[in-house]
């Protein structure tokens, strides 16, 4: 068996997975509130170290030699994936319904057909019925877990740093408190799963709590993507080069080595 060929093929698959992640990050570089994804690739030394420490056999034994030979055939592979939840740049907006969060572990809650979901994209607007909605049409929830709505007489909307909403009284400059945004605090964002439409789901709702005084809400701002386009382009070039190297290694294994073996056999015959 040509272990080098299969090792090269496996390494190429790993780089294809990495390339998919990079491409998705670049595609969302201008998506408000998008968080960069990344993969952890375990190289030979890491894999060998982890498994060697677990090896029950002593060195210089037949069983130990078999293990080392198997390990030598290992290739880099994806061992973990994670999302970078660092806060993106906050950009000033002319829309008073645009809201951003300045802390990384806070999320807005929205109503979807699949139930409550969370998002960092606070570029909100009003639908035809007066409900506060996301760009995709999902209703934004208040701290009472009910959709937030406004009337046609609400000329001014003020949102404070804790997400408390106040609207103007018709014919007056006075403001009256309306609903309050559901600002969710997640004890550990790594348990959140992306579902598309810039939404997150978390299976264990015990990890979610309502931030009563977050002081992190910024009205009139939108949070941009935290994807570093220059870094992503650099990683894309590096990944494409690695794919080319693996392809050349596969070609050498299948063609050059096989040709050399056939010629040697022919000379002996």
Based on the fold, state whether residues 109 and 194 are members of the same structural domain.
Answer: yes
What average pLDDT does the segment 236-251 reach? 90
- Asked if the model's pLDDT at residue 66 lies above 70, the reply is no
Question: What is the extent of the structural domain holding 76?
Answer: 3-82+228-268
Q: Give the C-alpha separation, 25 to 119, whole Å.
A: 17
Structure tokens, 18? 């990495």
Residue 72: pLDDT band with limits 50, 70, 90? low
Could you read off the pLDDT of 80-89 as tens digits, one per residue? Answer: 889 999 999 9
Please check whether residues 21 and 98 belong to one and the same domain: no
DSSP per-residue letters across 95-146: -TTBEEESSTTEEEEEEETTEEEEES--B-EE-TTSBEE-TT-PEEBBTTSS
**Statement: residue 51 has pLDDT above 70:** no
For residues 212 and 106, membership in a common domain is answered with: yes
Residue 59 has pLDDT above 60, yes or no: no
Residue 1 has pLDDT above 60, yes or no: no
| 233 in the same domain as 216 | no
Q: What total number of domains does the chain contain? A: 2
Under the banding of pLDDT at 50, 70 and 90, the label for residue 269 is low
Instruction: Please give the residue that has the higher pLDDT: either 120 or 67.
Output: 120
Asked whether residue 94 falls in the same domain as residue 204, the answer is yes
Instruction: Output the pLDDT for position 2.
Output: 64
Q: Do 140 and 249 reside in the same domain of the chain?
A: no
Lowest mean pLDDT segment, chosen from 21-35, 39-53, 125-139: 39-53
Q: What is the pLDDT of residue 154?
A: 84
What mean pLDDT value characterizes the chain? 86
pTM reported for the whole predicted model: 0.81
Measure the CA–CA gap between 140 and 124, rounded to whole angstroms.
8
Residue 69 sits in the same domain as residue 129: no
pLDDT of residue 182: 97
Query: Does one domain contain both 217 and 117?
Result: yes
Statement to judge: residues 37 and 123 lie in one domain: no
Q: 142 and 194: one domain?
A: yes
199, pLDDT greater than 90: yes
Q: Tell me: do 207 and 105 sit in the same domain.
A: yes
Does residue 131 sit in the same domain as residue 188? yes
Q: What is the pLDDT of residues 91-118, one digit of tens each?
A: 999 999 999 999 999 999 999 999 999 9
**Per-residue pLDDT at 233:** 97
């Amino acid at each position: 068996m040509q272990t080098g060929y299969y090792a090269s093929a496996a390494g190429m698959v790993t780089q294809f997975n990495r390339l998919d992640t990079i491409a998705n990050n670049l595609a969302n570089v201008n998506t408000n509130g998008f968080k960069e994804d990344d993969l952890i690739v375990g190289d030979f030394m890491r894999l060998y170290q982890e498994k060697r420490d677990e090896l029950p056999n002593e060195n210089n034994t037949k069983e130990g030699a078999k293990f080392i030979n198997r390990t030598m055939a290992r290739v880099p592979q994806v061992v973990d994936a994670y999302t970078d939840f660092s806060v993106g740049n906050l950009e000033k907006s002319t829309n008073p319904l645009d809201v951003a969060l300045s802390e990384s572990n806070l999320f807005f809650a929205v109503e979807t057909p699949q139930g409550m979901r969370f998002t960092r994209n606070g570029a909100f607007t009003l639908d035809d019925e007066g409900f506060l909605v996301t760009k995709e049409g999902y209703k934004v929830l208040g701290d009472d877990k009910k959709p937030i709505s406004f009337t046609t007489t609400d000329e001014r909307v003020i949102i404070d740093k804790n997400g408390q909403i106040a609207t103007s009284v018709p014919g007056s400059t006075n403001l009256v408190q309306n609903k309050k945004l559901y600002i969710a605090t997640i004890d550990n964002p790594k348990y959140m799963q992306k579902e598309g439409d810039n939404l997150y789901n978390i299976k264990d709702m015990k990890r979610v709590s309502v931030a009563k005084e977050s002081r992190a809400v910024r009205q009139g701002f939108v949070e941009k993507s935290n994807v570093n386009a220059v870094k992503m382009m650099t990683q894309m070039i590096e990944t494409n080069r690695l794919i080319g190297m693996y392809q050349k290694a596969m070609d050498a294994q299948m063609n050059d080595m096989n040709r050399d073996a056939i010629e040697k056999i022919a000379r002996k015959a």
